[in-house]
Chain A
């Protein structure tokens, strides 16, 4: 399967949407080359504002522009866009119900060598607490393009979390992101692996490893964190009786937290939450970090076996 850039898909989609919608405005904070908003900037200089290194000002300014009737995309790394700017996202964007689409890139350990300061591991947890904020973590380039398109066409605040690294493309070009619907990438009856972002391809690899042991693992791409697809989660929790979540993010309040919150109320089943747990990341090659923090495909498969052996 092809491996493609989510950021690249973001930039190309902005370019296309910019052609269709003259009221689309894009802001960045000195990371246009990294987030790929530069693609839009080159074509539509009059509707692109590089705010410089002022993320707080960027997000509140985005809200102000949106309140004059524009659709505004604002981008930076997740560590800054949600971490540094949480209060501005909360008040300027969400409380105002401003039509602002926050697209963060370089999420999680996948940032790699830049290390802990740049590895956002809390952004989804923060974003999930904000009223009216739709939270999306696409798993590949196709889903990224579709999610960006959906956000542009839907009034209200969005947070879309993208990776620095290229990821395996699972979806065909016809795939459409639907909020509150979690695509099932692989069916299974023994255990459910729920993954988001960069961990989706790891979960798919883990399912292959488990299949070799005659364990049938279902894999759900939980890209729509809010609204959450309770129906699919419930169906698979009942179908398999075991749920393992895996995320390049803190297990506290992120994907694992979201699934546990839901299942604890509606279908309590034994769960394992894989991800970062009360710790910062560190420098290293992304794949080495996933091994270091026990988030490789074989780690996921091993954790699944342990979960299956629990009474």
Chain B
């Protein structure tokens, strides 16, 4: 990734953050913290790595993305809007009764959403199913499946059922990002029910594991490049992130897991993000 591309992607990431703050503020509800922590991951996937087509969101040979931590819907909607799947103006309707943007992603409502998610743990199994399904085609599909799970979500038993399935069946066409921001609703993941040592766990389940700075676009891209070369096992990327990244008072602040910023906080956040620049 050259400097110019890095600058372009960084600018997109900044815009996604502004969208996230605006839409959650407008809706007066939603999950800013875990949306902001995943901005660089989705930026890299939607604007560099994934083979997708906004003009034909359901084309059979597309790469898939499953937001298993469905509460981070705002970051997905922001990416879909910037990428041209939905109008940017629609973001303001988030969570309204007449909107096609549900509080958690719904594939039947929003173009570009591959799976409806929300109840934690299920999205990973669905991504595993997609990886299976694509491999089952008579002619092996080149499509790949990407998924994003949370570290709090990793306390769900189904995550480990799915991990065992994908590892055992060598689903090398599956790449999962773990948004490791170390916060869940009730506090620190490490204090409530620690998932560490997380890399060793996934390795034991027969996954290729990379650990990166989840806000470093170059590292994210490199991990996907390594995934593309993989033929033996599924890939887990432990993305070390900061919940609420990019907004000073939200960073690493558990209170902004599922709370919208008020008017004053919104103004400060947008200022920090250089809104209007």
> Judging by beta carbons under 8 Å apart, are B60 and A60 in contact?
no
Q: Does A63 contact B (CB under 8 A)?
A: yes
Within the complex, what minimum Cβ distance (angstroms) separates B62 from chain A? 11
B184 interface residue per 8 A CB criterion: no
List the B side residues contacting A54 at CB < 8 Å: 161, 164-165
- CB-CB under 8 A for A96 and B107, given A47-B136, A91-B122: yes
CB-CB < 8 A to A90: which residues of B?
119
| B157 & A69 in contact (Cβ 8 Å cutoff) | no
Contacts of B129 in A (CB 8 A): 60-68
Q: Does A155 contact B (CB under 8 A)?
A: no
- Total number of B residues with any Cβ neighbor in A under 8 Å: 34
Encode A8-28 as 1/0 by CB contact (under 8 A) with B. Answer: 000000000000001001000
User: Which of chain B's residues have a CB closer than 8 A to the CB of A61?
Assistant: 125-126, 128-129, 132, 162, 165
| B111 within 8 Å of A (CB atoms) | no
Asked if residues B132 and A64 are in contact (CB atoms below 8 Å), the reply is: yes
Inter-chain contact A67/B130, CB cutoff 8 Å: yes
User: Do A70 and B136 contact each other (CB < 8 Å), given the known contacts A56-B157, A56-B158, A61-B129?
Assistant: yes
Given A64-B115, A64-B129, A67-B129, A56 and B161 contact (CB-CB distance below 8 Å) = yes
Contact B164 A91 (CB under 8 A): no
A19 CB to nearest chain B CB (Å): 15
A62 CB contacts on chain B under 8 angstroms: 129
**Chain B CB within 8 A of A172 CB:** no
Separation of A59 and B158 alpha carbons in the complex (Å): 11
- Contact bitstring A87-131, B, C-beta under 8 A = 1, else 0: 110111001110000000000000000000000000000000000
Q: Is the CB of A64 within 8 A of B127?
A: yes
Decide if B158 touches A57 in the complex (CB within 8 Å): yes
Contact indicator A60/B136 (Cβ below 8 Å): no
15 additional A-B pairs beyond A56-B158, A57-B164, beta carbons within 8 Å, are A49-B132, A49-B169, A51-B165, A54-B165, A57-B158, A61-B125, A61-B132, A62-B129, A63-B126, A68-B133, A88-B158, A91-B116, A95-B106, A96-B115, A96-B116
Size of interface on A: residues with Cβ below 8 Å to B:
30
Question: Which residues in A have some Cβ–Cβ distance to B below 8 Å?
Answer: 22, 25, 46-47, 49, 51-52, 54, 56-57, 59-70, 87-88, 90-92, 95-97
Contact A64 B116 (CB under 8 A): no
The answer to whether B125 touches A92 (Cβ under 8 A) is: yes
Q: Chain A's nearest CB lies how many Å from the CB of B18?
A: 30
Cβ contact within 8 Å between A68 and B165: no
Please tell me if the beta carbons of A92 and B126 are within 8 angstroms of each other in the complex: yes
Selected contact of B108 from candidates A60, A92, A97, CB within 8 Å: A97
Query: Complex Cα distance A88/B158, Å?
Result: 10
Q: Across the interface, which residues of B come within 8 angstroms of A22, CB to CB?
A: 138
Residue B134, interface by CB 8 Å:
yes
A91 touching B118, Cβ below 8 Å = yes
- Indicate the member of B107, B133, B157, B169 with the most A CB atoms within 10 Å: B133
The interface residues of chain B lying within 8 Å CB-to-CB of A46 are 136
Which residue of B is nearest A87, CB measured?
B119
A47 CA / B135 CA spacing, docked (Å): 11
Cβ of A25 and Cβ of B136 under 8 Å apart? yes
Jot down 30 A-B pairs with beta carbons below 8 A, ordered by A.
A25-B136, A49-B169, A52-B165, A54-B161, A54-B165, A56-B121, A56-B157, A60-B122, A60-B123, A60-B129, A61-B125, A61-B128, A61-B132, A61-B162, A64-B115, A64-B126, A64-B128, A65-B129, A66-B133, A67-B115, A68-B129, A68-B133, A87-B119, A87-B122, A88-B119, A91-B119, A91-B122, A92-B126, A96-B116, A96-B126
Min CB gap B203→A, angstroms: 20
B153 at the interface (CB under 8 A from A): no
State how many angstroms separate the Cβ of A106 from the closest Cβ of chain B.
22
Distance of B159 from chain A, by nearest CB (Å): 9
* Contact across chains for A67 and B114 when beta carbons are under 8 A apart: yes
A172 to chain B, nearest CB (A): 37
Distance between B128 CB and nearest chain A CB, rounded to angstroms: 5
A64: contacting residue among B60, B133, B161, CB under 8 A: B133
4 cross-chain pairs, A with B, having the tightest CB-CB distances, nearest first: A64-B129, A68-B133, A60-B125, A57-B161
**A65–B130 contact, CB under 8 A?**
yes
Are A70 and B133 in touch, CB under 8 angstroms? yes
> A283 CA to B107 CA in the complex, in Å?
44
**Given known A-B contacts A54-B165, A88-B122, A91-B122, A67 and B133 have beta carbons under 8 A apart:** yes
List of A residues within 8 angstroms of B131 by Cβ: 64
A272 to chain B, nearest CB (A): 38
Nearest B-chain residue to A59, judged by Cβ? B125
Q: Which residues of A contact B121 (CB under 8 A)?
A: 56
- Nearest CB on B from A47, distance (A): 7
